[in-house]
Chain A
Amino acid sequence: MNDTGATQPHAAPTLEPGFKGIVRDWSSDQRSFKTASWGKVMMWAFLLSDTFIFGCFLLSYMTARMSTTVPWPNPSEVFALEVFGVHMPLLLIAIMTFVLITSSGTMAMAVNYAYRRDRKRTTMLILVTAFFGAMFVGMQAFEWSKLIHEGVRPWGNPWGADQFGATFFMITGFHGTHVSIGVIFLLIMARKVWRGDLDNARPGFLTGRKGRYEMVEIMGLYWHFVDLVWVFIFAFFYLW
């Protein structure tokens, strides 16, 4: 939409730093976000709204847990695994955390190589990210089936407060859906990068918007957000 040529002449001298800059940007004509493209701003706006959704989920979990008079099941024990006869609390969750962090790291590097126009490395790194994402979803499926097998239901469980199952399936399910959509998104983008759509500004099949390398960064924002949400779920649901 806005190529750099349009913003370059007036961008350099007028942009002020600090709080004064915020006031200037917001009260200025035309656009408040001077350096971010509209695509990036829209992704941030979406992520902000998603923050509120996950915020409300965690909030309802807090409310359920604080208001119940029945003891809450101990997540450290519920999510423990027996590995070669050794009792490891929260092992699977720890591995899932590391897998997701690693995928975030490879995504960040994919964005970096995308801006260097390195098609091969970008594609590879996006595919590695998608692989780790799929691995995460796989482990989550394992965790779900294990808990369902042990008798956890949205309306009850063998260890304590009934609300445990409802909040668990809701929060991790919604997050897992985000990861799954992200993996699909990543695979589509890997194909675009590999085929050279971003170099040739080829219109996308759905929106018809021309391919450009910033798309990788915008998709990266989504992926990092999924990792970010997991940081909060890990802290509040699994460790608390």
Chain B
Amino acid sequence: MDHAATATPATAPHEEHQQHPIKLYLTVWVWLFILSVGSYMVDILQFQGLLRWGLIVTLMLLKAGLIIAVFMHMAWERLALSYAILVPPVLILVFVAMMAIESSYTEWMRVFFLSGGT
């Protein structure tokens, strides 16, 4: 069975056996290095404000995307699986929005009623 699966790699619709050239992994590895150096430089160069947050989040998402897509082989999975795994974490973003509102409110309460206190 395994011989049949490896003999027709291009036409068979993605079998359970992942086979890609090593070069692909090395390329991704180099890119992860470059992106990590990039996010480290954000701190070294002391970028501030919107530029800092923008760069940090962009580099983070690029790195996460590369790891999930290539290292974890998500790019070659059926969309049924990809969506089942990648869509639910969106709920965390909803939670983030809720807690951001909540914590701003808490901070306002602290400033207002605890006279800037702890």
Contacts and interface: CB of A to CB of B under 8 A. Distances in A.
A239 interface: yes
Most buried by A among B11, B22, B39, B88: B39
B36 A101 contact: yes
Interface stretch (A2-10, A177-185, A188-196): A2-10
B48 to A, nearest CB: 11
A156 B25 CA distance: 43
Contact of A232 (B64, B79, B88, B106): B64
User: Which label, helix, strand, loop or mixed, suits the secondary structure of the B interface?
Assistant: helix
Interface stretch (A30-38, A134-142, A143-151, A167-175): A30-38
Q: Looking at chain A's contact residues, is the secondary structure mostly helix, strand, loop, or mixed?
A: helix
Interface string B55-92: 01101100110011011110001111101110011001
* Contact-size category for B: 35 or more
Contact of A214 (B16, B25, B44): B16
A25 B72 contact: no
Given A66-B107, A221-B72, A22 B83 contact: yes
B89 A19 contact: no
A234 B95 contact: no
A36 B96 contact: no
B46 to A, nearest CB: 8
A18 B5 contact: no
A108 B80 contact: no
Contacts of A225: 72
Contacts of A221: 72
Contacts of B73: 217
Interface in A219-234: 220-221, 224-225, 227-228, 231-232, 234
A36 B16 contact: yes
Contact of B67 (A37, A44, A94, A104): A104
Given A25-B80, A217-B18, 5 more contacts: A41-B81, A101-B36, A112-B22, A224-B72, A239-B42
A-B complex: 6 closest residue pairs judged by Cβ atoms: A25-B80, A105-B29, A66-B103, A67-B103, A235-B60, A67-B106
